[in-house]
Homo-oligomer: A and B are copies of this chain.
Amino acid sequence: MLDAKTNDPLELGALAGLLGYRLRLAQQAVFRDFAASVGEVSPGRAGMLLLVEANPGVTQGSLARAVRLERSTMVGVIDALEARGLIERRRGADRRTKGLWLTRPGRAFVARLKRRIDSHERRVASHLSVLEREQLLGLLAKLAAR
């Protein structure tokens, strides 16, 4: 780890070989590129929009479990996306539930989002070969499999 300003080297000590530390640095780098190049919506919110696109009518609770948020947290998140006109709640067959759907503007937004995410992904992976990227995705999935 280099001190970004003075280039004083800072000893990493016990930190050097820890997966959690390397994961955090990598994720910071990727998220920083996402914010700069995709913008408009955070990585987490973008992921939710992609999940609603792939699972039209998904209930709030089901989406919350998928992204590991509390149901109560999801309320505000959906409120915000609904206020931006990107998704809408519809009454489900089970009248306790609310199904989530992309609005027409929401679908256009997600289409644009996907194009930007594509070029973001290419830029982020530009230092990796195709094989290395596949290896990395596989190892990450293995690590996350609990």
A residues near B, CB below 8 A? 1, 3-6, 8, 10-15, 17-31, 34, 43-44, 47, 50-51, 53-55, 58, 61-63, 65-66, 68, 114, 117, 121, 124-125, 127-128, 132-133, 135-137, 139-146
In the complex this chain forms, how many copies of it are found?
2
Please judge, given known A-B contacts A34-B20, A62-B8, A65-B5, whether A29 and B127 are in contact too, CB under 8 Å: no
Give the residue name and chain of the B residue nearest to A62 (CB).
B3
A132 near B137 (CB under 8 angstroms)?
A: no
Q: Interface on chain A toward B: helix, strand, loop, or mixed SS?
A: helix
B contact residues around A142 at 8 Å (CB): 127-128, 132
Choice from B55, B63, B139 contacting A135 with Cβ under 8 Å = B139
| Docked pose: A15 CA to B63 CA in angstroms | 14
B contact residues around A50 at 8 Å (CB): 13-15
A66 near B3 (CB under 8 angstroms)?
A: yes
B contact residues around A117 at 8 Å (CB): 14, 18
Pairs of residues from A and B, 3 with the lowest C-beta to C-beta distance, nearest first: A13-B54, A11-B54, A22-B140
B contact residues around A30 at 8 Å (CB): 19-20, 23, 143
Residue among A15, A23, A44 with the highest chain B CB neighbour number at 10 A: A23
